[in-house]
Amino acid sequence: MKKLLVTAVCLTFAAGAVYAHKLNKEQRRLEECGVVMSEILHVPDDIPRDLLNKAECVIVIPSVKKLAFGIGAEYGRGAMVCRTGEHFRGPWGAPAMYALEGASIGFQIGGEGTDLVLLVMNGRGMDSILSSKVKLGGDASVAAGPKGRTASADTDAWMRAEILSYSRSQGVFAGISLEGSTIRPDDDASADVYGHPMKASEIVRGEHTGVPETGRRLVNVLEKHSPVNESERASN
């Protein structure tokens, strides 16, 4: 009986190893987005739930890295998930891959391997990000997001921002300003995830785009923690 149990455990680990080996870099990155979002939503002072419930899209950038050239220059790759349906009233949809770059990030978060989460708070912000490269603080307004379950979502500074941003570095979770950074669709990475060319707008707005297996955790954790859109846009 013990031998059978050991054999079963070994086969399970072997199957997991084979599955991981088959994933390409972007598919593994998308899986990591789900891990990061799940961990952040379980810290004591996480993203205020009333803000998450008013967000229409969420961008997760795991492990932002510092470039070897250019002091302070950083880059990150991750995924954006938006609510589906008219006025974003539907469930969370399929993830599209995104890239974030900027010279100012390093001076603010200090250190490498920082995870970023951005909440897109209205349709105007989402439309800008879907179409092209966007400069945060220029093309789209951005503010450091508040944290903690008691933080109010009605503060003017947070209500005016199209995007709210957070960072987690060395176990510390906090709001962070990403002004001066740029974010853009990474269509080549999306093609690697889905196995064929797809633009971010097609993925996010496409009613027939299924969630890939590697994106299930990210979508599921958002569905669990914020199943209903409570923004004014959703109620119209």
pLDDT tens track for 68-83: 444 455 789 999 999 9
Which of the residue ranges 17-26, 28-37, 58-67 would you say has the lowest mean pLDDT? 17-26
User: What CA–CA distance (Å, rounded) separates 199 from 74?
Assistant: 24
Give the pLDDT score at 192: 97
Give the pLDDT score at 67: 53
Cα 135 to Cα 145, 161, 172, 180, 217: the distances in Å are: 18, 14, 26, 6, 29
**Domain contains 202:** yes
**Domain contains 16:** no
**Domain contains 9:** no
pLDDT tens-place string over residues 144-187: 998 876 555 545 555 678 999 999 988 888 888 888 899 999 99
pLDDT at 19 over 50: no
**Domain contains 117:** yes
Confidence of residue 59 (pLDDT cuts 50, 70, 90): very high
pLDDT at 199 over 60: yes
Greater pLDDT, 106 or 122? 122
CA angle in degrees (0–180, nearest 5) for 132-137-138:
55
Work out the average pLDDT over 53-80.
80
Number of domains forming the structure of the chain? 1
**Domain contains 10:** no
Give the pLDDT score at 70: 46
Phi and psi angles of residue 47, each rounded to the nearest 5 degrees, phi first:
-65, 130
Q: Residue 66: which H helix or E strand, with range?
A: strand 57-66
Greater pLDDT, 206 or 129? 129
Work out the average pLDDT over 122-139.
86
Give the pLDDT score at 17: 41
Give the pLDDT score at 45: 86
Give the pLDDT score at 162: 92
Average pLDDT, the chain: 81
Give the pLDDT score at 3: 53
Which of the residue ranges 28-37, 53-62, 118-127 would you say has the lowest mean pLDDT? 118-127
Residue 231: domain span: 25-235
**Domain contains 199:** yes
**Domain contains 15:** no
**Domain contains 5:** no
Q: Which residues lie closer than 8 Å to 10 by C-beta, 6 or more apart?
A: none
Greater pLDDT, 113 or 29? 29
Give the pLDDT score at 72: 54
